[in-house]
Amino acid sequence: MQRPHPILSPDRIAPSIPCSRPDASTLEATALIDGEVDMAYALITGASSGIGRELASLFAANGYDIVITARSQERLNTVQTALKQQYQVRVVVFAADLSEPDAPQRLHDFTTSHGISIEYLVNNAGFADWTGYLDADWSRQQEMMRLNMEALAELTYRYGRDMRRAGHGRILNISSVASMMAGPYMAVYFASKAFVRSLSEAVAYELRDTGVTVTCVCPGPTTTGFAKAANMHGRNFFTMTRPASAHQLAAYAYRRMMRGTTLAYHGPLTRAGALAERLLPRAVTRRLAAFMNGGEPNTRSVSATPQAHPEQSAQD
């Protein structure tokens, strides 16, 4: 088992000291790790870009070996090469679409069968869609629910059981300011993030005194390609606020995870949302959310036809 590494200042991340052990060769989903067992790794979903990639960089900068997963093999390979060269850590690639029903179990089976012990789990993958609920493409909404909720819940369950058995581990689930209210024109996304927050808080309580922590971080607007992926245009919360950078959010989430904080709000809009949730009637907060979401989409055809995953989805 790896010894804990110091948490470096997010504003002054330096390359870790090269490890004395030999570096493992590139691992694909069918590769074997010869002669290695019980290696402690951090697993980050949606790690090919945005917040996920920044979190992978933070773990690597602090000397942790990592498993990165997303849909795009090519993007993951690019991240793998960069992190291995800069930080001299092992970086395992597992390309998968986590919205597929069997994908979370395949990921868990892969790490388990190759002796990779997951000490840190980061559930970051997810996406949104700007649309009226009854005008949405149902297959896309289903995909969103499977990725944002079902995959996160299953990975938390499977790796959480492993961590509880080992007596240590940390789980980070990325929620949103959207978790605090109903969200007209992004109904499923807002509901999915409320699920993430509620599940995380409950499991964190159940795991008290086990050595395992669950942290739920609720970001506000963050520059990750979210608006483009959600097909948003015109006035919305990205144009009406000053979004945080992916690095800023990742550094905040990393610190909170390492401290074992259960629930954390990043940015002034999220903290305002948490206050509004306690003080304002829900009839008011859902009107505010509808306004901040940009109102009813002017072009229904964007969501009325089937679409592939957005290019900037956190799962890529």
Residue 30 lies inside a defined structural domain of this protein: no
**Distance from C-alpha of 69 to C-alpha of 44, rounded to nearest angstrom:** 6
What is the tens place of the pLDDT at every residue in 140-156? 999 999 999 999 999 99
Q: Please, are residues 219 and 269 in contact by the beta-carbon 8 Å criterion?
A: no
* Helix/strand/coil for 190: helix
Residue 78 lies inside a defined structural domain of this protein: yes
**Active-site amino acid positions:** 189
Residue 207 lies inside a defined structural domain of this protein: yes
**Distance from C-alpha of 174 to C-alpha of 158, rounded to nearest angstrom:** 18
Q: In terms of residue numbers, what domain contains 156?
A: 41-293
pLDDT at 281: 72
pLDDT at 25 over 90: no
Q: How many domains does the chain have?
A: 1
Residue 29 lies inside a defined structural domain of this protein: no
pLDDT at 285: 65
pLDDT at 29: 39
Confidence band of 168 (pLDDT split at 50, 70, 90)? very high
**Distance from C-alpha of 19 to C-alpha of 15, rounded to nearest angstrom:** 11
Residue 314 lies inside a defined structural domain of this protein: no
Residue 11 lies inside a defined structural domain of this protein: no
pLDDT at 147: 98
CATH (domain of 251): 3.40.50.720
pLDDT at 170 over 90: yes
**Distance from C-alpha of 21 to C-alpha of 275, rounded to nearest angstrom:** 49
- CA distances to 41, 98, 129, 225 from 301, in Å: 44, 27, 13, 21
**Distance from C-alpha of 284 to C-alpha of 202, rounded to nearest angstrom:** 27
Report strand pairing: 116-123 vs 169-174.
parallel
Q: Please, are residues 224 and 50 in contact by the beta-carbon 8 Å criterion?
A: yes
pLDDT at 266: 83
Beta bridge partners of 68: 44, 93
Beta bridge partners of 171: 121, 214
**Closest of 203, 195, 204, 202 to residue 261, by C-alpha:** 204
Residue 25 lies inside a defined structural domain of this protein: no
Residue 258 lies inside a defined structural domain of this protein: yes
**Distance from C-alpha of 39 to C-alpha of 36, rounded to nearest angstrom:** 7
**Closest of 226, 240, 225 to residue 292, by C-alpha:** 240
pLDDT at 18 over 60: no
